[in-house]
Structure 1
Amino acid sequence: MTVPEASVAVELAQLRGEINTGLEQIKGTLGILVERTNRTDADVKQLKSDTEKDIGELRVEVEALKRNRWPLAAVGALTGVAGAATGVISLLVR
């Protein structure tokens, strides 16, 4: 081998080493990204589950409040009838 061929071979070996190093760094980075993605997916599933549970509890509370609320229309009607009856009675008593 002549000197230029030897230097080309050395350069190719260095280039091969740099490429292998770069590929390993990429693999490591991709591994980290996959792990973060898996962790994020698990966190999102947990958050969704917690949110659905909270929404379910709130729905139960809202339904309980709806059942226990005052029937304002009926109370208003009864008040009106009672007022009218009081007025009629006071007119008849005079």
Structure 2
Amino acid sequence: MNESPSLSDPAVVAVELERLRGTVEAGFARADGQLALLVQRSDQTDKQLADHEQRLDALERSRWPIASIGALAAMATGAVALWELTGR
């Protein structure tokens, strides 16, 4: 009668532990690869965010003179209109 190997046999236990170790190592390698990809994407997102912040700051700095110029033009127009009304 041919008996199947049992877990009480040290050789069988060693083989099963080695298989389990290989499975765990492969799982960790896969998880490490996925984490590395996430870190790379996070770094790219941080760079894009910093670039957008820089561009937004530049737009905000260049925008404020437009309102001032508009106000000065309106005052100049008002002054010319007032001068026209009182001058003639």
Compute the TM-score of the two structures, normalised by the length of structure 1.
Answer: 0.69
Matched with 1:53 is 65
Q: Give yes or no for the alignment of 1:24 onto 2:36.
A: yes
Q: Which has the higher contact order (CA 8 A, sep 6+)?
A: 2
Cα deviation, 1:39-92, whole Å, max 9, x if unaligned, reads: 111111111112112111111111111111147987xxxxxxxxxxxxxxxxxx
Q: Pairwise mapping of residues 14-93 of structure 1 onto structure 2 (< 5 A)?
A: 14-70=26-82
Matched with 1:80 is none
Letter of the aligned partner of 1:60 in structure 2? L
How many Å apart are 1:3 and its aligned residue? 2.0
Choose 1 or 2 for highest CA Rg: 1
Matched with 2:18 is 6
In the TM superposition, structure 1's runs of 4+ consecutive aligned residues that sit over 2 Å from their partners are: 70-74
Give the CA RMSD over aligned residues: 2.1
Compute the TM-score of the two structures, normalised by the length of structure 2.
Answer: 0.73
Runs (5+) with no aligned partner, structure 1: 75-94
User: Which structure is higher in helix share?
Assistant: 1
